[in-house]
């Protein structure tokens, strides 16, 4: 016998922390970590609902939680590929330094030349 309000409130607090992290952090990897916190909060809600509600289709919450975990794994894989590419082009992963203007093509060109030099050093 449990009080369902306890895990729900825990999930809400974790979600708030994730929102704070996504809005405040400048490092793209830290932003991804905060996103993981938010996804976990959602999973807690799903599992709690599964454990406390007698549903017509049983285990639905657990199945959805598993689906969310798989989606999170895919999201982190693609997200980290983008972050590493950004680091290769700009030598920086600060999300508020990413230029959205048209000159991005020129600086990306310059950045990829820099990336080639870095790669050359790594090979050596």
Partner 1 sequence: MTTADVLIVALGAVAVAAGAAVVTTRHVVRAGLWLVVSLGAVAGLYLTLAAELVAWVQVLIYVGAVVVLLLFAVMLTRAPIGASEDLDRVRWPGAVIGAGAGLGLAALLAYAYGWSTVELTEQSGAEAVGSAIFTAWVLPFEVLSVLLLAALVGAIVVSRPDIGRRP
Tokens of 79: 């997200």
Per CB under 8 A, the list member of 101, 105, 117, 124 interacting with partner 1 is 105
Residues 10-49 that bind partner 1 (CB under 8 A): 10, 12-27, 29-30, 32-34, 36-37, 40, 43-44, 47-48
Residues 71-90 that bind partner 1 (CB under 8 A): 71-78, 80-85, 87-89
Helices 104-123 and 60-90 pack at an angle, to 10 degrees, of 90
Q: How far is the CB of 73 from partner 1 (least distance, A)?
A: 6
Residue 37: name the closest of 50, 49, 23, 48 by CA. 23
Unique residue bearing structure tokens 């932003």: 31
> Does 3 participate in binding partner 1 (rule CB under 8 A)?
yes
> Does 6 participate in binding partner 1 (rule CB under 8 A)?
yes
Size of the site for partner 1 (CB under 8 A): 82
Per CB under 8 A, the list member of 42, 58, 99, 121 interacting with partner 1 is 58
Q: CA 23, CA 20: separation in Å to the nearest integer?
A: 5
User: In the beta sheet, which residues pair with residue 33?
Assistant: none
């Amino acid at each position: 016998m449990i009080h369902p309000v306890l895990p729900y409130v825990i999930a809400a607090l974790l979600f708030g922390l994730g929102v704070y992290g996504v809005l405040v952090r400048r490092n793209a990897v830290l932003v991804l970590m905060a996103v993981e916190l938010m996804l976990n909060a959602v999973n807690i809600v799903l599992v709690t609902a599964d454990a406390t509600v007698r549903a017509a289709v049983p285990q639905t919450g657990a199945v959805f939680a598993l689906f969310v975990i798989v989606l999170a794994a895919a999201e982190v894989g693609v997200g980290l590929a983008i972050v590493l590419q950004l680091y290769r082009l700009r030598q920086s992963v600060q999300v508020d330094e990413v230029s959205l203007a048209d000159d991005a093509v020129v600086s990306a060109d310059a950045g990829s030349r820099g990336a080639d030099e870095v790669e050359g050093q790594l090979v050596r």
